[in-house]
Structure 1
Amino acid sequence: MTVTEATETATPASARAPASALPEIADPSRVSPKDARQLSRLFFDRLGVLEEGTPEYQYARNTLIEMNMTLVRFAATRFRSRGHDEMEDVVQVGMIGLIKAIDRFELTREVEFTSFAVPYIVGEMKRFFRDTSWAVHVPRRLQEARIHLAKATEELRSRLDRDPTVKELSQLMCLSEEEVNEARLASNGYKSASLDAAVNSSHDEAALADFIGAEDGALELVEDFNALAPMIADLDGRERRIIHMRFVDECTQAQIGEHLGISQMHVSRLLNRTLAKLREGMLTTN
């Protein structure tokens, strides 16, 4: 198993010279869990007085890592349903949790190292699944809400013998209806399907892409907007102000006239003249 980056060395603990007052262990990874618990206290005791970065310190630290690898394998068994290929990654991230636990453990805590380390190991594994299992990344709050939503839906479905309503789910989950709908929407990001995926259809070789999506007529306006922008920029300040008030602020001509201190008729003439100028420019561009 490769944990080179975390341990800063690829050499097994058994191949390095042991620190004074520490036993030399031929193969730390083969130490039984019972013996590992006893030896770990001895190695942690020495680790606390050794200078970090010295060969003795590295020997003690790496021996602790190798002796306690069984904790990682034990924690990984709860995720065995994920498949063999993914399990290798689970063990690797679990090793990161083990190393973090070793670096932060102190004998003065008066707690067994195994009890201290397992939450770190499992935490790294759960973080791995949270970051890699979702097809679309969503906030952790919504990932957790999806789990609660699935449990609440199943409970109410068995109790009511029908699909629960949003109101019923919100009452059981102690969430607002808006939050329940948000969790439902976020659930769509857990799995994704290829647009080339075959679907049941009377059509030959039908794919999912054939049945979703539609042309957006508004896309045709993009070119017009790009062509219009520099023309509006070339207008004088009052013309731009009138265009903005009429089509952005949606003011009436009377309101524009009152704001500019001119008559509504004058506003109408200026607006028509400006629009004619823009229209001519667009026709020339096209």
Structure 2
Amino acid sequence: MPTTTTQTAEQTVDVPEIANPSEVAPRDARQLSKLFFEQLTMLEEGTPDYSYARNTLIEMNMSLVRYAAGRFRSRGPEEMEDIVQVGMIGLIKAIDRFELSREVEFTSFAIPYIVGEIKRFFRDTSWAVHVPRRLQEARVQLARANEELCTRLGRTPTIKELSELMSLPEEEVAEAQLASNGYKSASLDAAINGSQDGEAVLADFIGDEDEALELVDDFHALAPMIAELDERDRKIIHWRFVEELTQAQIGERLGVSQMHVSRLITRLLARLREAMLSVE
């Protein structure tokens, strides 16, 4: 593989030249990424060689963005293009913040950044509650009709008046009004006016905090780690924690003792726990 040589204050750095980084197979990209991250630690930021190494890392790992974006393929081809672009922002952030000293695979580090950026995109641009497209379009028409009639009548228009202006049945206008409530959501931390102690918030009245939400990021970080396990270890994890088989039942499937299964599970959990702590 051709290389270019960069002379730093301390040593000579050989940077591999890759003709088409975006075409590098994911498995090869994983190994090459380690080399390029090593180069970044020795190159001066802002130099041509540093930019080349960083840009190569971005192109080589685009498959991670496509993998993460695949979870949202139901959004349609037009929106998928935006999702991939947003995911690239997450990939770039992961590359700029990754440190080899973490002793964790870059794929495990990058996926949460990519998925997090995509979810942030949905949070900032999507409806708070999903409603049919016809009602989303009716909301725009309803807003215009409301503004026009309020100006003309000097008061809030009735559903019948809106129906006549919009040329829609009253039932559909009422449904569009209800659906409009899904465009914006109120924060659970929003203060409730008139509360006696002045500190009550919306969450105090409509539900309890779901502690499981704190596990969402952990699940996203854990998924690629489990994917890297060999087939037998993945089966053991699935049987124990998805199918909830006993250790004895797992032992029967593997043809080993219950005690051996116990040792295998302990080893697997320790390995995954160590990897998760490295990500944090």
Of the two, which has the highest radius of gyration? 1
